[in-house]
Amino acid sequence: MMDANKQTPKHPWDESIRTILFALLLAVCFRSVAFEPFHIPSGSMKSTLLVGDYLFVSKYTYGYSRYSFPFGLPIFHGRVMELRHPQRGDVVVFRPPGLPNTDFIKRIMGLPGDKLQMKDGILYINDKPLARKQVDDFTDAEDMANIHPVEQFVETLPEGKTHMVLREPSHALVQEGIDPNNTPVYTVPPDHYFMMGDNRDNSGDSRFPSPVGYVPEENIVGRAELIFFSTDGTAQLDNPVSWFRAMRFNRFFDLIH
């Protein structure tokens, strides 16, 4: 006769599957409410961010929107639990209206109601030019066969915050008939932001209506906080030493400004 209090032995795989599912749930929750890792695949934010940088983006800083969670499901609209609104100068990850399933990373340059315009490579915000000071050239070594210096400037925002921008007009990205260095006046709509790359002549951003244009606040995923790992892309799978040489240790744990 079977003992009614005796439990059927569990298969060893049951516990393993539960452990894996629990770990996945914790990872999804952490990525959704705290920090999410991102990889930089393009050079639009040089010299602040380089191809091969890996960084953490905080999800809680601006509160949460549908894009804070996997797949961007429309479970609600707007933002909830906001600690603060996005600020000019913040580097943010967002989903552009024209590509809502793709992550972009740029710097917020225009706030709701602002007027922005590029004139001869100088950015004007609300009819006032931003102060710029030229510093040592940035050496662009992404393409090892075409290493070249690029003019670099310290740009000062109206609030006093500074950041680096690159100037390479001979390589200016022209889209939809818009010269990125001489643009029309842009007036940022309510609850929207104007995004720009620090690599000014090589950035598809809010200066072009498609796919970025004005970015709704709801489409902002989070604020870029910290570079936790960086590699120059020269590592070879069959050469462990090359992985060590490819690491850019001087960028590890750099705060993003």
Q: Which residues are catalytic?
A: 44, 106
**Rounded distance between C-alpha atoms, residue 100 and residue 91, angstroms:** 18
Long-range contacts of 70-76 (CB under 8 A, 24+ apart): 70/28, 70/31, 70/32, 72/100, 72/101
The three-state secondary structure class of 213 is coil
| Cβ-based neighbour number of residue 221 at 10 Å | 24
What lies within 8 Å, CB to CB, of 196 at 6+ separation is: 106, 107, 109, 123, 203, 205, 206, 207
Closest CA to 160 of 49, 257, 42: 257
